[in-house]
Amino acid sequence: MDAITIAVQLLNGVQYGLVLFLVASGLTLVFGILGVINLAHGAFYMLGAYLAWWIASYTGSFALALLGALSISFVLGLLLEEVFVKRMIGRDHLAQVLLSFGLILVIDEARQILFGKDVHSVTPPEWLNGSIQLTAILSYPVYRLALCLVCILLAALIFYVIQRTRLGMIIRAGAENRNMTRALGIPFDTVNRFVFAGGIALAALGGMLVAPISTVFPGMGDGMLILSFVVVVLGGIGSVTGAALGALMIGLTDTFGKVFFPQVSSILIYVLMAGVLLWRPNGLMGKAP
Amino acid sequence: MNRSLTQPTNLALGLVLILLIALPFFAPNYYVQFASKAMLMGMLALSLNLVVGFGGLVSLCHAAFFGLAGYMLGFQSPESAGASLWLSLPVALLVVAAVAAVIGTLSLRTRGIYFIMVTLAFGEMLFYFFHDTKIGGGSDGLYIYFKPEIALFGQTLIDLDNSRSFYLLVLASLVMTAGLIRGLVNSPFGHALQAARDNERRALSLGFPVFRLRLMAFILSAMIAGLAGYFSAAQFGFVAPQMLGWHLSATVLVMVVLGGMSSILGPIVGAFALIGLEEVLKSAFEHWKLIKGLIIIALVFALPGGLQQLTRLVLPKSEGPHTGKDSDNQPVEADHAANLGSLSDPMTGLIQPPMTSANAKGLQHV
């Protein structure tokens, strides 16, 4: 194993971690601010990928696919918040688990009706479709690099919004103390709605961005849901910094696990989670309840 | 024992039991097998309710224990004969208990949303373990060609190939597990477990070893789930990773809520209702899962107390098929009480946000 291979794997791990962060940050924000556990998060990741494939196959444009799928997911998020999730705030977790499980079944079946259950692939735009030659035999796809860049920009945007804007201040205050924030006259219900829709959109965006480098298949949401859960458990509920940390840890552990311990690679991230639970049961960045 | 168990309920339970015993002697084989399957799901729901209903812990990894026991039977079954039940069942249950002890020790360090996510993650770890490695045949699963043998001194006692004997054995196991859980719930152990569900801080300050109580309940319930999984694998002669997947865990959770979590037998009713419903939907609609999903969503909003709530709406004074404490059995009133009482903790007088209070109170009034 030479330095170049390790560098390529490192890049893969970071890229994987960045996508995980995108999806998990949406999940952790919805947990932290609405106090709602959303098992259907992975289903939106899958839906985003299918929407992108569907729009791309009609228009032939990846940019249009991104834009269209993103808008559809955001509007869907707003609608779901208004109809279902709003009524789940403050109810116990069991009701939230059941509601989101019901949503998964509905979304899965709707996807089956609309798009079928075939496996698809999405072609990235022409100018991102090449590879960079690293050595005589090794090359790295440009799209993966672009993906890293987009994820880093999005992560920076998320951090900027949360740390530096008034909306972010409200979000942080809401995560800290929901009732107090509401008592201060903040239009919290509107904030809730946009946070939920934003979280859904982030999950869907993760699915769209990954579509060109993996395949689009029905079960893709389930795996992502579990991984995002592990990320949130590692990082601590409601902490976007924690989600970033957890996502990079999982991305690197999984990538290098597959290289060095292919036999047990699928177990490694859970061992990592178990270790963190023993050390800090509320996650790396989580506060004690 | 339970004083609220009134005479008519006893009578009704006895009648149902007699009907269930008689069923294989007049019903066609298909229905006997279907009822066996439903009873095994009922046993799984029963086990989950010990943790969810009486422990206030929403576990999403019980299917993993169910499937793990199934795989354990698969591993112990020789190619050309059945495994001996006397050996293979205890081994399967012990393995499940050991795994549950590890998962429980780790997950019970967490609360609320964390507990749900951690149990889900560990359950999926077992799923991927059997899915990705060759140990259990990977994603193809494992065939169990011969049903386990129940023999004494070379003499077969119960022939499990006979679907009637199999049904009766499953029924007997279900009745015994229900009795065991009822005894547990009404024992000092069960009372302490429910006290910890209702107010963890109070239970701790009264000196209850809350962590150990919960861990014991978790392991016991995993073993009962394993018993159901063992028989399930024996019935179908096949185990696959899907048996361990979290979709099954969530479906069983639906059964528990549908049947009513505050009662002991409710989950069994929920299992029969949901499995029956699925069977009807499957035969009537191509996209039956869409309807199943919508029904689950409707259940959450319209019938949070499950079918018991429905019977109470129709017959305000009637006794449903439950044996739990009636005082805890009014989800609508309890909800109001929770909303009013959630702002201050009677023990400490501290004002706390409703969410943490809802966590501490557990899930008794879903």
How many Å lie between the alpha carbon of A105 and the closest alpha carbon of chain B?
5
Q: What is the model's pLDDT at position B199?
A: 92
The owner of tokens 């409703």 is B354
Instruction: Read off the pLDDT of each residue in A47-70 and give the average, rounded to a whole number.
Output: 92
Q: Is residue B15 within 8 Å of residue B182, measured between CB atoms?
A: no
Q: Is A43 within the bounds of a domain?
A: yes
How many Å lie between the alpha carbon of A133 and the closest alpha carbon of chain B?
33
| For residue A69, pLDDT beyond 70 | yes
Query: Do A289 and B111 count as a contact with CB atoms less than 8 A apart?
Result: yes
Torsions phi, psi for A216 (to 5 deg): -100, 115
Count CA within 13 A, CB hemisphere, residue A241.
8
Least confident of B46-50, B152-156, B180-184, B326-330: B326-330
| For residue B332, pLDDT beyond 70 | no
> What gap in Å lies between CA B62 and CA B79, rounded to an integer?
28
Instruction: Tell me if chain A has a CB within 8 Å of the CB of B112.
Output: yes
Residues 38-77 of A with CB under 8 A from B: 39
| For residue B365, pLDDT beyond 50 | no
Report pLDDT digits (tens) over B177-187: 999 999 999 99
Torsions phi, psi for A141 (to 5 deg): -65, 140
Instruction: Tell me if chain A has a CB within 8 Å of the CB of B12.
Output: no
For residue A111, what is the nearest residue in chain B, using CA coordinates? B290
Best to test chain B binding among A31, A106, A267, A271 (most B CBs inside 10 Å): A106
Least confident of A171-180, B38-47, B59-68, B157-166: A171-180
Instruction: Read off the pLDDT of each residue in B198-226 and give the average, rounded to a whole number.
Output: 95
Q: Is A271 within the bounds of a domain?
A: no
| Total structural domains within chain A | 1
Instruction: Tell me if chain B has a CB within 8 Å of the CB of A110.
Output: yes
List own/partner pairs for B172-178 with CB under 8 A and 24 or more apart: B173/B43, B173/B227, B173/B231, B174/B39, B174/B42, B174/B43, B174/B46, B174/B268, B175/B17, B177/B43, B177/B46, B177/B47, B177/B224, B177/B227, B178/B46, B178/B264, B178/B265, B178/B268
Residues of A in contact with B292 (CB under 8 A): 105
Q: Which CATH architecture has domain B23-342+352-361?
A: Orthogonal Bundle (1.10)
Q: Where are the domains of chain B?
A: 23-342+352-361
Report pLDDT digits (tens) over B240-257: 999 999 999 999 999 999
Instruction: Tell me if chain A has a CB within 8 Å of the CB of B22.
Output: no
Q: Per-residue confidence at A289, pLDDT binned at 50, 70, 90?
A: low
Q: What is the model's pLDDT at position A34?
A: 86
| For residue A91, pLDDT beyond 90 | no
Q: Is residue A232 within 8 Å of residue A283, measured between CB atoms?
A: yes
Least confident of B145-149, B209-213, B316-320: B316-320
Residues of A in contact with B121 (CB under 8 A): 226, 229-230, 233, 270, 273
Q: What is the model's pLDDT at position B98?
A: 98
> What gap in Å lies between CA B217 and CA B211, rounded to an integer?
10
How many Å lie between the alpha carbon of B103 and the closest alpha carbon of chain A?
9
Q: Is A197 within the bounds of a domain?
A: yes
Q: What is the model's pLDDT at position B120?
A: 93
Residues of B in contact with A231 (CB under 8 A): none
Q: Is residue B290 within 8 Å of residue A127, measured between CB atoms?
A: no
Count CA within 13 A, CB hemisphere, residue A101.
24
Q: Is residue B161 within 8 Å of residue B234, measured between CB atoms?
A: no
Instruction: Tell me if chain A has a CB within 8 Å of the CB of B128.
Output: yes
Neighbour count for residue B23 (Cβ, 10 Å): 16
Query: Do B356 and A94 count as a contact with CB atoms less than 8 A apart?
Result: no
Q: Is A48 within the bounds of a domain?
A: yes
Residues of B in contact with A263 (CB under 8 A): 133
Q: What is the model's pLDDT at position A239?
A: 84
Six token digits for residue B336: 């109001």
Instruction: Read off the pLDDT of each residue in A268-283 and give the average, rounded to a whole number.
Output: 88
Instruction: Tell me if chain A has a CB within 8 Å of the CB of B103.
Output: no
Average pLDDT over chain B reads: 84
How many Å lie between the alpha carbon of B68 and the closest alpha carbon of chain A?
16
How many Å lie between the alpha carbon of A129 and the closest alpha carbon of chain B?
31
Least confident of A57-61, A187-191, A221-225: A187-191
Element (DSSP H or E) covering residue B243: none
Element (DSSP H or E) covering residue B143: strand B142-143
Q: Per-residue confidence at B361, pLDDT binned at 50, 70, 90?
A: very low
Six token digits for residue A11: 């890049």
Instruction: Tell me if chain B has a CB within 8 Å of the CB of A287.
Output: no
Instruction: Read off the pLDDT of each residue in B36-53 and give the average, rounded to a whole number.
Output: 96
Q: What is the model's pLDDT at position B356?
A: 40
Please give the residue range of the domain that contains residue A178.
18-218
Q: What is the model's pLDDT at position B277?
A: 94
Report pLDDT digits (tens) over A5-42: 888 889 899 999 999 999 999 998 898 888 889 999 99
Q: What is the model's pLDDT at position B315?
A: 64
Angle, vertex CA B144, rays to CA B138 and CA B148, nearest 5: 140
Q: What is the model's pLDDT at position B349?
A: 38
Residues 3-42 of A with CB under 8 A from B: 31, 35, 37, 39
